[in-house]
Structure formats: structure tokens, C-alpha cells
Amino acid sequence: MPDQIQPVRGMNDIPPAEIAAWQFLERCIAELVTAYGYEEMRVPLIEHTALFKRAIGELTDVVGKEMYTFESQGGESLTLRPEATAGMVRALISNRMLRGQRHKLWCIGPMFRHETPQAGRYRQFHQLDVEAVGFTGPDVDAELIALSARLWRLLGIEHVRLQVNSLGTPESRRAYRELLVGYFRDHEAQLDADSRRRLGGNPLRILDSKSPQMQAIVAGAPLLTEHLDPQSREHFEAFCALLRDFGVEYEINPRLVRGLDYYTRTVFEWITESSGAQNAVCSGGRYDGLIAQLGGEPTPAIGFALGMERVVGLLVQAGRAPPPAKPDVFVILSGDRAGTAGLGLIERLRNELPHRRFECNLGGGNLKTQFRRADRSAAPLALIVADDELDRGVVAMKPLRQDSGQSECPIAQLAAGIEQALAALGVS
């Protein structure tokens, strides 16, 4: 036997048994974002590497360590998207959709980051991405949070907490950055290797350090919230007031800095305790400078992305994942003529009852085998199409999960007969 080819590490299959939860989540999302006036836009999985370098920042972990970058046959440097915001913005610019216009957009799809795989952290994962472009906020900031809070309610997910912060403008952040570098330099001997590396390039990310050794130093660091410019402070206060008005609970986490460089002002994360270290299920913020930085006309924007795998995990934990779909009717075909005539009969029934799921026994087998398959299919009702009954113009019906016996139904009234039998079994 030839060697089996293994799946690529960190890249998962989603087997049929898990699909119902995914489809339930995707349906809830599509209905909700549409109800808030968002339109779907689809963008490529592959972009020029320069897009992510410029948008996300060369010094971030995502760009520095985690991108799937390759050279195309034409010699271009291309990258599998590690996130969707850069591509969405690129698409707005390429399609000349800005020009003073406003857009509320969403997309769902796979993202790729070469991280160390563990529960809730994968190399191919899926995001719902939501972006509101052309709005200065803070109303849209708060509305986006209300949308995400409503999604948790719709899904029946309870144990998620909202953390918010403001990163101010690039100018106020630059001044704060200097302050912070000064503070960490004073404590350089106590910094771990990761933080020492970040000190030169991305010192704000030290605040995000999960290392126990760093906690005391981080706790003593100056806070960005205390060094905000007046407009950013006003924006943040108005945003928080709206959240209170909407009844959305939140915590201000002055050390929430996010791992991508494009953020300004409002940032937020929905976190959960239940999935271990990988606790951010939905995160985002405002990126007022990004569009201009990518060559578009200066346009404020805000958005978030939700980690679909993590939310599916929460759905399963909360017992909210719907069971896999099962057929309404399993069709047993007994006899040579029934084998073909029966299939034709079911095709006509599918025209009459398009909302019903019929599963026909394919590939033959004796009655015992076919009844075993019917049982395994979990269908509540079996139709038995057999040569003798066909000659008499009838087929037999038998409930599979109840002890009531077999009955006969004239073929001419089969659609109504099936509906009646299913109704009697409590199948809507």
C-alpha cells in the first residue's frame, strides 16, 4: 500500500458531523449583519505580500513570523491572507468605491497564520469579518459592539466578556510610546527575551505579554488611557456612554493593545474563559489611518473579526449546536422492477415535496440490510417500494422509531400520505 498523505499541520477538515453547527452560525451571522445593513463582499485569499506588510506592520508577529508567503511563477511575492481587513480595504480602493462614500461590509472565509497549533489556534482558521468604512464614530463603534452582543444572545452563548480601550491618535501614541520605552529601559534587566526584542520595534505589545515574569513590570507601566489626546478621550467617553445606554456590559482594559499596527482610538475584544489560553473570540477596532496609508482617499473606518472555530466550540459547549440533519424518509427498494421504478417515483415525489429529504437505498441489498441502513439514517419513516405492491398501485410505509405497524398508500396519493404519516410522527 502506498504511504498515506497526512493533513498539513494546523489545517483542519470539518467533517459532516460538525457541519450543522457551522451552518447554524453562518445563517445567524448572515441574517444579523444584513439586518444591521451590512453587505457581503468577497475578496481573494491571495494578495501581494506588500499589502500585508504595509497594512499590518512589518514589526508585528503576523507579518514578521506567521505569513504564508511564496513566489508566484511570474516572480511576484504573494501571501495567503492572514486576516481580511487589508484585502477589504485594498478592494475598496481598487474598485474605486471610496470617493466620499460609506460602506458597511462583511465577509466570511479562511485565513492563514503560521502559528503554533493548539486548541482554538490553527494555521488555517475562519473569520467573520465586518467593516464599516466612512464613519467617524463613536456611534458606529458602539453599534458594532451591539451587533456582536446580539449575536451572542442569538447563539445562546453566555460566558463572553467585553474589554475595550482607546489607542488614541498616532501622535498621542508616539508620545506615549517614548514614555513607555523609557519605563521599560529602566527595568530592562527584568524583561524576558520576547519583551526585550519588542522594546526596539513594538513596545506597546509588551503590555500584552502573557509571561508571569512580566506581570509586575507591566502592571507598573504608564497607562495609555492617561495619555490620550483630548479628542480621543472624548470619543472614548462617548463610546462608553453609548454602551451603557445599550445595556452592554464592558470592562476598560488599559493594556489592551491588539497585535496589528493599523489601529487608532477604539479597540475591543470579546474574551471567554472557557477556551483556555486562546480566549479572544471576536476582536477589532478603529483604523482611521489605514485607507490613506494604502493609497486611498483618507477615510475613517472600524471593524472586527470573529474566530469561527472558537465560536463553534462555544456553541458545542453550550449545547447549542443543532444535531446533524437527517432524512425525513428512507426509501427501501425491493425487487428488480422496484429498483428502477422506485427511483423514478421518488424523483417525482421530490418535485411535489421539495422541502422533504428523501434518502433512497442505493446499490441494492436484501431487505434486512436495507432496514439496517434505514435505521442508521435516523429517518422517522420508511417507504417500502416493492414489485408486488407496485403492481397493485401502492407502496408500504413504516414508522421506524415507533412500534406502529406497516400501512399501504396508493401511489396517486403518496405525497399527501407521506405528509400525513410524518405529521402523525410529530415531524413538521
Peptide bond into 138 cis (omega under 30): yes
- Span interacting with ligand HAM, options 33-41, 156-164, 278-286, 373-381, rule CB under 6 A: 278-286
Name the CA radius of gyration of the chain, rounded: 28
**How far apart (Å, rounded) are the C-alpha atoms in residues 44 and 48?**
11
Residue 395 and residue 389 in contact, taking contact as beta carbons nearer than 8 Å = yes
Piece of 17-25, 45-53, 302-310, 321-329 that binds ligand HAM (CB under 6 A): 302-310
203 and 187 in contact (C-beta within 8 Å)?
no
Cell of 91: 478592494
Shortest distance, position 121 Cβ to ligand HAM, whole Å:
4
Q: Which is nearer to ligand HAM, 61 or 389 (CB)?
A: 61
Residue sitting closest to ligand HAM (CB)? 307
Cα 252 from Cα 287, distance rounded (Å):
19
**Which residue in the set 47, 141, 309, 328 belongs to the binding site for ligand HAM (CB under 6 A)?**
309
Kindly indicate which of the ranges 123-131, 197-205, 217-225, 237-245 contains the residues binding ligand HAM, using the contact rule CB under 6 A: 123-131
Hey, what's the cell of 309? 472555530
Q: How far apart are CA 418 and CA 356, in angstroms?
A: 10
- Return the number of the residue (225 or 272) whose C-beta is nearest ligand HAM: 272
Measured distance CA(198)–CA(261) in Å, rounded: 13
Of these, 163, 283, 334, 370, which contacts ligand HAM (CB under 6 A)? Answer: 283
Cβ 309 to ligand HAM shortest distance, Å: 5
Q: Least CB distance from residue 308 to ligand HAM, whole Å?
A: 8
Q: Cβ closer to ligand HAM: 130 or 411?
A: 130
Minimum distance from CB of 45 to ligand HAM (Å)? 14
- The reply to whether 155 sits near ligand HAM by the rule CB under 6 A is no
Amino acid making up residue 428: S
Is 264 among the residues that bind ligand HAM (CB under 6 A)?
A: no
Query: Which of 97, 104, 102, 100 has the alpha carbon at shortest distance from 131?
Result: 104
- Rule CB under 6 A: which of 74-113 touch ligand HAM? 83-85, 113
Q: With CB under 6 A as the contact rule, which of the stretches 118-126, 160-168, 330-338, 342-350 interacts with ligand HAM?
A: 118-126
Q: Using alpha carbons only, what angle is made at residue 146 by residues 142 and 151, rounded to the nearest 5 degrees?
A: 150
Report if residue 184 touches ligand HAM, rule: CB under 6 A: no
The closest alpha carbon to 162, from 53, 264, 251, belongs to 251
115 binds ligand HAM (CB under 6 A): yes
How far apart CA 62 and CA 83 sit, in angstroms, is 9
Select the residue interacting with ligand HAM from 57, 138, 203, 284 (CB under 6 A): 284
Residue 280 near ligand HAM by CB under 6 A: yes
At closest approach, how far in Å is the CB of 91 from ligand HAM? 14
Does 334 engage in binding with ligand HAM (CB under 6 A)?
A: no
Q: Please pick, from the candidates 203, 303, 327, 380, the single residue that binds ligand HAM as defined by CB under 6 A.
A: 303
Residue 393 — φ and ψ, nearest 5°? 75, 25
Of residues 130-149, those binding ligand HAM (CB under 6 A): 131
Q: What is the C-alpha separation between 162 and 44, in angstroms, rounded?
A: 31
Residues binding ligand HAM: what is the number (CB under 6 A)?
Answer: 26
Secondary structure (3-state) at 416: helix
Helix (H, G, I), strand (E, B) or coil at 356: coil
Q: Is 268 in the site for ligand HAM (CB under 6 A)?
A: no
Dihedral, 251, 254, 257, 262 alpha carbons, nearest 10: 90
Alpha-carbon span 49 to 283, nearest angstrom: 23
Least distance in angstroms from the C-beta of 292 to ligand HAM: 16
CB neighbours of residue 224 within 10 Å: 24
Which one, 110 or 339, has the nearer CB to ligand HAM? 110
Query: Distance between the two ends of the chain, CA-based, in angstroms?
Result: 48
Q: Which residues would be at the binding site for ligand HAM (CB under 6 A)?
A: 83-85, 113, 115, 121-122, 125, 127, 129, 131, 259-260, 280-285, 287, 303-305, 307, 309-310
